Amino acid sequence: MRHLLWLLVALAAVGCELPNNVVRPPSSALVDTHHTLGGLTAPATAKHPGESGFLLFNTGAGAIQARVAMADLAQSSIDAMYFQWGRDTVGRVLLDRVMAAADRGVRVRLLIDDYYYYTSGYDLSFEAIDAHPNMEVRVFNPYVRGRMRVTQLLERFTELNRRMHNKLFVADGQLAIVGGRNLIDDYFGLGKEICYRDFDLLAIGPVVSQAEVAFDQYWNSQWAYPISSLATPPSQAEQDWLHHGFSERLAADRANFPYALPHDRDTARAWLVHFQGKGIWGPAELVYDDPNSVANPADAPPGRVWKKMNSLAMEAQQEIVIENPYWLPNPGMPTLRALRERGVQLRVLTNSLGSTDEVPTNAHYANARPEMVDLGVELYEVKPYAASRALYIARPATSEARLALHGKATVFDRKTVAIGSFNLDPRSMDLNTEMVFIVQSPQLAAQVLDAFAPDFAPENAWRIAAVAGDGVAWITQDPARPLVEPHDPASAWRRFLRSIERILPIADLL
């Protein structure tokens, strides 16, 4: 065992260095875009001075349609930063439209976090994408290429444990999408084992300029490495081979894609005009963490997003309604206690043990669950095979995928909405960078609460209630025949794994 440990340390110490003197040509958002999408958005923004317009995407269909339409309509720039951009159907379909934009002269900047970066099969690598003259790819907080990641974690754990969790897509500096969805099938109802219930907001107006400022800060950060500085670009023959394989797989994707997509610029333009008629307007801001927070030690103070979310909570007077997949209150629960002492109602939907994709997080949430219920938090958990799968899964009749919550949406006092990438766990509070839209609009708040309604319904969620002792029960609130389950409605294997995770001192890393 001792020899193995020394071997791992030696491997960690050899070659685990990022390139020095990296050339990062600075760039910034293109501001003179009124001849592009600005020509379409200007009439609407002129009617709402100082406000931004928003459209809620409650399902995967609208969320991918919006991104495709934006790529099809872009004439000057596309800026996108994502925690994950998958090499699957959704990832390929959107990447194809983004590359088509680059082919017609649109400048494309892609910033990808390195935690889930991978290359497989015939799919285009980001190195190959970067070879396009109008596309540039940068990697946030990268690992060293060609070295085992586990050995790098031994040496650079504090640094590599801090990730860019943001999700942002901007076209021509005029339209922006922020939300919880990674660009992977599972987040758009196409997953094979799991499909996520999620949220996005599409914005026009002044808040989009804030999004471009945020993108530029990340893009020009010392933590954003041009991918060409990390790996050798593929040869022209390799690029041709990759593009051929990509085209073959894309043809199959298009033939089997479950959602109707804009098929040309006219239909994309019609979609945008339709959006402008349905947009909800109000004062808004984009709140995001400092990209340089990655350099801070593990005990650094909470980021901007957590401070803003906590401030909004403490300002609430009547009610906070939350959907969030990972719910880990701080030890002692000072915010929850303060809210309940003031009589603020808290209604929360999160993942159950049966639905979650993060059993360790659920384990430590379960430790705090009885105390939350005792404080009067109205707590609900998602049923993995809820009736609402029909709303969020593209082909529910043939899919065996379980439903899981991934959306991060909060409504404060029925007038303020927060939607973005922020989870209610220590990782989002203290480790990752996050990004959220904060919108002051009773009308949007009502729309989000209407979207919440099916998720809290008895056929889709259990209500958690206290029982004698320190336990809880899972209740299906059917007035005709209430059903009470005395332990987590999940497989025995999952309950066993969770029992092990509950005793591990890792809550601060989740």
Residue 29 located in a structural domain: no
Average pLDDT of the residues in 24-53: 84
| pLDDT at residue 351 tops 60 | yes
3-class SS of residue 202: strand
Q: Which whole-number Å values give the CA distances from 182 to 99, 197, 200, 267, 494, in the listed order? A: 19, 12, 10, 25, 25
pLDDT value for 6: 40
Domain count along the chain: 2
Confidence class for position 468, pLDDT limits 50, 70, 90: low
CATH number at residue 487: 3.30.870.10
Same domain, 112 and 69: yes
- Domain shared by 422 and 320, yes or no: yes
Residue 404: Cβ-neighbour burial (10 angstroms; 0-12, 13-18, 19+): buried
- 364 and 431 part of one domain: yes
Check whether residue 182 and residue 245 sit in a common domain: yes
Average confidence (pLDDT) over 380-405: 93
Confidence bin at 495 (pLDDT 50/70/90): confident
In this predicted structure, what is the pLDDT of residue 10?
45
> Coil, strand or helix: which one is 311?
helix
Domain span including residue 370: 283-509
Cα–Cα separations (whole angstroms), residue 153 to 116, 162, 187, 358: 14, 11, 28, 20
Of 216, 248, 280, the last residue of a domain is 280
The amino acid present at 57, given as its one-letter code, is: F
Residue that finishes a domain, picked among 280, 300, 328: 280
Q: Is the pLDDT of residue 124 over 60?
A: yes
The predicted structure's pLDDT at residue 469: 67
> Which residues does 390 contact at the CB level (< 8 Å), separation at least 6?
396
DSSP code at position 166: -
Flag whether pLDDT at 167 surpasses 70. Answer: yes
Is 295 a residue whose pLDDT tops 90? no
How wide is the angle at C-alpha 282 spanned by C-alphas 277 and 286, nearest 5°?
110
pLDDT at 226: 95
Q: What is the pLDDT of residue 118?
A: 53
For residue 22, CA distances in Å to 107, 296, 393 come to 22, 21, 44
The span from the CA of 433 to the CA of 439, in Å, is 20
- Give the predicted TM-score (pTM) of the model: 0.93
Element at 273 (helix H, strand E): helix 265-278
Domain contains 107: yes
Mean pLDDT of 405-429: 96
Whether 15 maps to a domain, the answer reads: no
Could you tell me if 98 and 194 lie in one domain? yes
Same domain, 224 and 351: no
If you search the block for the tokens 């894609």, which residue do you land on? 257
- What is the rounded distance in angstroms from the CA atom of residue 266 to the CA atom of residue 270? 6
Assess if residue 44 is contained within a domain: no
- What pLDDT shows up at residue 9? 46
Give yes or no: residues 262 and 364 share one domain: no
314 with 265, same domain? no
Place of tokens 């609430």: 316
Write out the DSSP string of 346-359: EEEEEE-TTT-S-H
Based on the fold, state whether residues 229 and 330 are members of the same structural domain.
Answer: no
Q: Output DSSP code: residue 85.
A: B
Residue 3 in any domain: the answer is no
Structure confidence at residue 434 as a pLDDT band (50, 70, 90) = very high
Is the model more confident about 284 or about 128?
A: 284
pLDDT tens string 174-208: 999 999 999 999 999 999 999 999 999 999 999 99
37 in a structural domain: no
pLDDT at 119 over 60: no
Q: What is the pLDDT of residues 230-268, one digit of tens each?
A: 988 888 998 889 888 899 999 999 999 999 998 888 888
pLDDT at residue number 408: 98
Q: Are residues 232 and 294 in the same domain?
A: no
Are 304 and 362 part of one and the same domain?
Answer: yes
Strand positions, DSSP E, 191-252: 194-197, 200-204, 224-226
Structure tokens at 268: 């994309």
Specify whether the CB–CB gap between 372 and 379 falls below 8 A: yes
Cα of 155 vs its chain's centroid, Å: 28
Q: What is the mean pLDDT of the chain?
A: 89
> Does 414 share its domain with 470?
yes
For residue 28, being part of any structural domain is answered with no
